[in-house]
Structure formats: structure tokens, C-alpha cells
């Protein structure tokens, strides 16, 4: 399915208006089922859906590793991802079995269970990287994001070694873009513990926690971090970099992990 759609627009520039063809980014409802039970509908870009499904259920704590997953089938036409798990972990049993108890249906509550379970998982393997490497990675990252350049409507996310972008994903949602990255890393058995995450989006606590779950030691964003993400990054031993643009960046936490 296409990541963009053509639309007819009236383009205004000062006093001039023109009827033109333009493109907008596709917004695609994608519903995930686990063992035939409906879990969630994500609004996303219709690419890397298998990785999105995998990354989402991992981020939400519903699987601990790829070995829990027997099969994923994507029905692209109907926007459905069927995930079959061989065994449920404790959280997924609780999540799926006792829905009378999970009083919070809606945004956030699932996530807060995740916070509780990963509160104390400090980064075990700090990574040291040169500032110049970060600048080089950010330059490559910016060049790659053609969909953003075309539509202005998506977030990009990348998993990188100190030298190269290894996985690159885009999505209308910054959470989805990150989940696609981690879903693919899981599927392809790529170690995330010695890697850098680059993102175009703001770093909120939710983004930080997703990265912490995968033990990513360095997170770099083109945008701003929030207070909660700075506090958590400090505590978890993650080096947090914001406003990484051209020759500039702000390092918020764990300065010694970035070399000059």
C-alpha cells in the first residue's frame, strides 16, 4: 500500500491561489489481534506492518522475546495483523485474562504497567561515541527521510551503529516508527545494546522507556526532550541528545558517554 495519497488542493501564496495536485501522507488503521483476541487499533503508515505488530507487542510487554511468537500474518487490505503466541508471559496473561481488573481502558494505563516492570533496568553496557559520529549519523538520517520531505507529515527513526544507519523506518506516529525499528531488530536478531537511536520526534517518557527496554544506551533527537524523559535517562544511564541539527546539539544526560 502507498505511503502517500494524491489530493487536489487550493494553494495560497499571498494573493495568488492555484488549484494543484499535492500529496498527503497515508493514515492507515491497523488492528492487532493476539491469539484471535483484538488488542489495539494503531493509526499508522502502511509499511513494515509485521515489524510494527511485533515491536508494539514487545514495547507493551506482551512478549519477552521473539521465541514467544509462533506466527504473524498481515491482512493488508483489511488493516489487520494476526499474531499467534505459543506461550503468554505473566503480563500478557494478566492483560488478556483479567480485563475486568484493568480498569484503565484507553491511552496510558497499559504503558504504566510497563513503567512499573522496567523502572529499575539501568543500562548495563554504556556506549561511548564521538560527537563527530553523531553529527555524521544525523546528516545521513536527514537525507534519508524522503517521505517527510514530500509530505511534511511523518516521523523518521533509525537504529545505528557508531558508523552507519542499520535500520530506518518512517511513520505518521513517532511511537510507531520506533516500534517498527525494534520489531525489525527483534525479527532480525540485531543487538540493540551497543546502538544509537535517532528520531525526528520529541522524546517523551514513553519513547525513553521503549528504548530503555531494549537497553539502547544513546538516544538522539532532532526535537526536544521532556522533563520526565531527562529524569529517566539520567537514572537509567542513557545519554540523551536533543535538537541535533547540523553542527549543533544539546546533551542532556550522561555527558561522559559522548567523546570530543
Q: 119 pairs with which residues across the strands?
A: none
CA 110 → CA 73, 107, 208, 219, distances in Å?
A: 24, 7, 16, 23
How many residues belong to the chain?
Answer: 260
DSSP 141-209: HHHH-HHHHHHS--EEEEEE-SS-EEEEEEESSHHHHHHHHHHHHHHTT---TT-EEEESS-B-HHHHH
Task: With beta carbons less than 8 A apart as the criterion, state whether 240 and 260 touch.
Answer: no
For the CA atoms of 82, 77, 107, 175, the dihedral, rounded to the nearest 10 degrees, stands at 90
Of 51, 168, 182, 252, the one binding a copy of itself by CB under 8 A: 252
What is the C-alpha separation between 214 and 100, in angstroms, rounded? 30
78 binds a copy of itself (CB under 8 A): no
Which residues from 117-136 bind a copy of itself, rule CB under 8 A?
A: 131
Torsion over CA: 102, 108, 112, 118 (sign)? positive
Q: 190 vs 226, which CB is nearer to a copy of itself?
A: 226
**C-beta of 93: minimal distance to a copy of itself in Å?**
14
Q: 192 vs 201, which CB is nearer to a copy of itself?
A: 201
47 binds a copy of itself (CB under 8 A): no
21 binds a copy of itself (CB under 8 A): no
The b-or-e profile of 176-190 (16+ CB within 10 A means b, else e) is bbbbbbbbbbbbeee
**C-beta of 190: minimal distance to a copy of itself in Å?**
26
**C-beta of 58: minimal distance to a copy of itself in Å?**
14
**C-beta of 180: minimal distance to a copy of itself in Å?**
15
Which residues from 143-182 bind a copy of itself, rule CB under 8 A?
A: 151-153, 172
Does the active-site annotation cover 157?
no
Largest distance between two CA atoms of the chain? 63
35 binds a copy of itself (CB under 8 A): no
105 binds a copy of itself (CB under 8 A): yes
260 binds a copy of itself (CB under 8 A): yes
Of 64, 109, 146, 259, the one binding a copy of itself by CB under 8 A: 109
Question: Binding residues for a copy of itself, per CB under 8 A?
Answer: 4-5, 7, 9-15, 17, 22, 24-29, 37-43, 60, 95, 99-100, 102-112, 131, 151-153, 172, 202, 204-206, 223-230, 243, 247-252, 255, 258, 260
Residues taking part in catalysis? 105
Amino acid at each position: 500500500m502507498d505511503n502517500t495519497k494524491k489530493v487536489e488542493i487550493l494553494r495560497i501564496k499571498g494573493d495568488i491561489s492555484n488549484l494543484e495536485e499535492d500529496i498527503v501522507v497515508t493514515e492507515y488503521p491497523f488492528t492487532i489481534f493476539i491469539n484471535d483476541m483484538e488488542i489495539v487499533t494503531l493509526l499508522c503508515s502502511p509499511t513494515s506492518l509485521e515489524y510494527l505488530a511485533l515491536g508494539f507487542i514487545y514495547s507493551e510487554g506482551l512478549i519477552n522475546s521473539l521465541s514467544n511468537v509462533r506466527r504473524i500474518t498481515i491482512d493488508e487490505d483489511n488493516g489487520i495483523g494476526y499474531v499467534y503466541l505459543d506461550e503468554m508471559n505473566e503480563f500478557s496473561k494478566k492483560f488478556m485474562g483479567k480485563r475486568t481488573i484493568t480498569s484503565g481502558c484507553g491511552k496510558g494505563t497499559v504503558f504504566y504497567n510497563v513503567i512499573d516492570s522496567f523502572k529499575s533496568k539501568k543500562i548495563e553496557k554504556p556506549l561511548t561515541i564521538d560527537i563527530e559520529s553523531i553529527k555524521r549519523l544525523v546528516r545521513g538520517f536527514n537525507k534519508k527521510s524522503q517521505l517527510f520531505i514530500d509530505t511534511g507529515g511523518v516521523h523518521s527513526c533509525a537504529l545505528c551503529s557508531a558508523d552507519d544507519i542499520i535500520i530506518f523506518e518512517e511513520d505518521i506516529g513517532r511511537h510507531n516508527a520506533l516500534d517498527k525499528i525494534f520489531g525489525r531488530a527483534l525479527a532480525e536478531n540485531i543487538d540493540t545494546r551497543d546502538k544509537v537511536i535517532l528520531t525526528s520526534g520529541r522524546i517523551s517518557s514513553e519513547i525513553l522507556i521503549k528504548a530503555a527496554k531494549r537497553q539502547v544506551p544513546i538516544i538522539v533527537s532532532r526535537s526536544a526532550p521532556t522533563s520526565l524523559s531527562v529524569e529517566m535517562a539520567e537514572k537509567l544511564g542513557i545519554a540523551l541528545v536533543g535538537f541535533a541539527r547540523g553542527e549543533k546539539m544539546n546533551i542532556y544526560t550522561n555527558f561522559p558517554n559522548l567523546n570530543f
